[in-house]
Each structure stands twice: as C-alpha cells, then as structure tokens.
Amino acid sequence: MFGRKKKAPLPVMETIIGPTAEFKGELKSDGGIRIDGVYEGSLETTGNLIISEGAKVKANIMAHNISISGEVNGDITANRVEILSTGHVVGDVTVNSFLLDEGGFIQGELIVKDVGLKAPPVELPEE
C-alpha cells in the first residue's frame, strides 16, 4: 500500500520496562519481554527476553530465548542465551544453545544440556 515494501514482522514485545523505569517483583508472561531499565525480582516467560544495553537486572530468569546487552545478576535457564558484546552476566546459565560475543562477560557455571548429540567413542592407544 502507498508504494512501500512490506517488512518482515518484528517479534512482539508484550511487556516493556522502559529506560527510566524501576520494577521490583515477580513477572510471569507468555509473551515477549524487553527490559531497558532496572528490574529486581524473578522473571519467567515462555516467550523471548531482551535485556537492552544499559539495563540492570537482578533476578533469576526462565525464558525461551534471551539476548543480553545489559547487566544480569542471577541464574538463567533458557533454550538459547546470547551474551552480546556489552552484556555482563554473573550467575549460573543452563541452556541448550549458547553464544558469547567478543567483549561479552559471564562469571558462573555454564551448563549446556545434552540435546541428543553423541560424540564418537575415543580409543586410547595401548601401551
């Protein structure tokens, strides 16, 4: 319409905590969440979570996919976690898939779940 090309739809963010907002409590959602401000508590979503650059999160997190450009202090459980170049995580991370960009930081235990891939057996040479 009006000669504009259609763009692919962006993922729906149902909940946004803005850059000047501070939130404390428990947040549960079936939709996407983006945090640009300060969040403290617990966070659980079956959707995707974006923690923007400049955001500060102190929470245990369960989400489907998580992209981290800000700071997180707490344990994370997710299908996939991306810690981008400005991302900073202090806590244990349990995932199926993990990406750490150059400059990104993690301090804690990283547990990558076995998703059915088996390494071939290693044969040791006899002495």
- Does residue 126 lie in a domain region? no
d(CA 77, CA 63) in angstroms, rounded, equals 7
Residue 19 or 117, more confident: 19
| Domain carrying residue 67 | 13-112
- Does residue 88 lie in a domain region? yes
- Does residue 119 lie in a domain region? no
- Does residue 4 lie in a domain region? no
Nearby residues of 17 by Cβ (< 8 Å), 6 or more positions away: 23, 33, 34, 35, 36, 37, 38, 39, 55
Q: What total number of domains does the chain contain? A: 1
- Residues 3-31 have pLDDT tens digits of 555 444 455 678 999 999 999 999 999 99
